[in-house]
Amino acid sequence: MTKWPIGVFASVDAGLGVHLSVAHELGISTVQVHTPHSHNRTAETAEAFLKSLTEYGIELTAVFGGFDGESYADIPTVDRTVGLVPPTTRAARLQEMKEISDFSKLLKCDVIALHLGFVPHDTQCQEYKEIVATTQDLCKYAAANGQNLHLETGQETADSLIRFMDDVACKNLYVNFDPANMILYGTGEPIEALRKLGNRVRSVHCKDANWAKNPGKEWGEEKPLGAGQVDIRKYLQTLKDIGYTGPLTIEREIPQERDRQRAEIAGAVSLLQSLRSELLGV
């Protein structure tokens, strides 16, 4: 793969991402996908999707897990509903992530990823220890499928995430860095967080946002790439500084406005192409 191939979030079935044909029309060469619903995680679906990837000349770089009942309505709702943290759904969702790992193997993809949820800050509490054990269990399962697990950033500061990853201590645990999430959740200045996470970062989202008036209490506002407060040029410069060469995956999820979504993704592609040529000379 060339350095910094451009990517976009796509969906296997109906979902938040764009259809592969749209990615192809926009000249995009890699995708991350949202995992399809359980009834659609079949060998037939995988085969058909692989065929489309080949047809369009697109490479699949990560499969993102997600669960029924998750809601990103506001920060307290995320805390209550997202990822492997909420205790009442944890065992069932861990099982589902293992099924997603198996489905990703059918897709010949060696990266699975997810939002883990809000990990408790008290590293001595029972809850924290259980989440560490759950993540170890999933890492071990993914490793047996030849996969790495990438944790999406946002809910934790860089320091808390590093501490957590060190406690999990699995060799196949890495970070999917999303600079806009650091702003949206109010968990830290993204460029500084990226420097701290350094070579733990193995995949990234290209997404932009403005800070909320009360960061951490209310959502910031997601913006088209280049129109927010991430500073995309500095973001790419920092990716270069930390030695990141993987895909630049555009995330712009406004499926209710398909035309606008497509136009904004096209704008993001040209911004990334021009910065890539400026910073890497390719």
* Contacts with Mg ion, residue ranges (CB under 5 A): 178, 205, 251
In whole angstroms, the minimum distance from the beta carbon of 281 to Mg ion comes to 28
3-state secondary structure of 211: coil
Kindly tell me which of 46 and 223 has the beta carbon lying closer to Mg ion: 223
Cβ proximity to Mg ion, 156 vs 178, nearer residue: 178
* Distance (Å, whole) CA 164 – CA 158: 10
Q: What are phi and psi of 200, to 5 degrees?
A: -75, -20
The nearest distance, CB 21 to Mg ion, in angstroms, is: 23
Task: Tell the smallest beta-carbon distance from residue 190 to Mg ion (Å).
Answer: 12
Residues 187, 161: contact at Cβ < 8 Å?
A: no
Report in angstroms how near the CB of residue 204 gets to Mg ion at its nearest: 9
CB-based contacts of 31: which residues, under 8 Å, 6+ apart? 7, 8, 9, 10, 17, 20, 23, 53, 58, 59, 60, 61, 249
| Smallest distance, Mg ion to C-beta of residue 33, A | 13
Residues in the chain: 282
Residue placing its CB nearer to Mg ion in the complex, 135 or 153 = 153
Provide the pairing of β-strand 208-210 with 221-223: antiparallel
Q: How far is the CB of 78 from Mg ion (least distance, A)?
A: 13
Nearest CB to Mg ion, comparing residues 101 and 181: 181
213 by Cβ neighbours in 10 Å (0-12 / 13-18 / 19+) ranks as: exposed
Cβ proximity to Mg ion, 62 vs 107, nearer residue: 62
162: left (phi over 0), alpha (psi -120 to 50) or beta: alpha
156/251 with CB nearer Mg ion: 251
